[in-house]
Amino acid sequence: MRTPLVAANWKMNKTQAEAREYCRRFRELVPRDFPVELVLFPPFTALAAVREELSGTAIRWGAQNVHPEPKGAFTGEVSLPMLLEHGVSYVIVGHSERRHIFGESDEFIARKTKAVLGAGLSPILCVGERLEERKAGKARKVVEEQLSAALGHLTPEEASRVVIAYEPVWAIGTGVPAHPEDAQEMANFIRGWLKERFGNVAEGIRIQYGGSVKPANAGDFLRLPDIDGALVGGASLDPDSFFSIAKEAVP
């Protein structure tokens, strides 16, 4: 039985004060025994504030990005030892905005994945095709290449700590989600790929859907057999909206 994981990717939004206000409201909403794992991904500058507000609750927090090297001349980057000081549990790697706006390669994403696991944390690896790739019938091929590059060299133990977010690029921030049947079909394909590589471990690996998830459509995705949660951008910026989505993941 996989515990659903619903995550809030705030992207480049919220000051420390706004993050605190959000966490205070969110804490009020989430019951102690809530059966869904909840993770907030604030910008780096709000991690300390989020940690202060959420320590002692079951809600976790993570980082939206990381550099694979532990330290050095990488202006503007943040390392794993720095993130560990902030008590993060998860790190997002390979988000489509990192791949396509900042030009991150599969090879760089693979290094990040390995480094995150090496630090004892869990990566949320984002994979997904662009619209032209889906239209050309290449969606599976693209996703398979992304999986293979980032996870192909991992041990089954390492793979068991990975979360995969299937996020079709054309659905992110557009208000146009994937068809639930297409999301299930891809999640099932991903699980099949994981099974081939890692055997039974694949049954325990969580696969999220991401891309224009809102309270009104979350249930359509979160009830699908191979989808174990959601990675939510825009609709996670309001705590009530995000919690409405999370409630749809309750088994």
Q: Compute CA distances 139 → 86, 97, 132, 199, 219, whole Å.
A: 36, 18, 9, 24, 24
Determine which residue in the list 173, 180, 204, 219 makes contact with ligand PEP, applying CB under 6 A: 173
Instruction: Please tell me whether residue 87 binds ligand PEP under the rule CB under 6 A.
Output: no
Instruction: Please tell me whether residue 234 binds ligand PEP under the rule CB under 6 A.
Output: yes
Among candidate residues 67, 95, 133, 248, the one labeled active-site is 95
The whole-angstrom distance between residue 245's C-alpha and the CA centroid of its chain comes to 15
Instruction: Please tell me whether residue 128 binds ligand PEP under the rule CB under 6 A.
Output: no
- Closer CB to ligand PEP, 96 or 202, in the complex: 96
Instruction: Please tell me whether residue 172 binds ligand PEP under the rule CB under 6 A.
Output: yes
- Closer CB to ligand PEP, 6 or 88, in the complex: 6
Across 33-95, the runs of DSSP E, i.e. the strands, are 37-41, 60-63, 90-93
Known catalytic membership, residue 153: no
- Closer CB to ligand PEP, 170 or 193, in the complex: 170
x/- string (CB under 6 A) for ligand PEP, residues 131-170?
A: ------------------------------------x---
Instruction: Please tell me whether residue 233 binds ligand PEP under the rule CB under 6 A.
Output: yes
Enumerate residues 6+ apart whose C-beta is below 8 A from 121.
62, 80, 83, 84, 88, 89, 90, 91
Burial 9-43 (b: 16+ CB within 10 A, else e): bbbebbebeebbebbeebeeebeeebebbbbbbbb
Instruction: Please tell me whether residue 113 binds ligand PEP under the rule CB under 6 A.
Output: no
Residues 12, 18, 24: CA angle, nearest 5 degrees? 125
Catalytically active residues are: 95, 167
Binding site for ligand PEP (CB under 6 A): 9, 167, 172-173, 210-213, 231-235
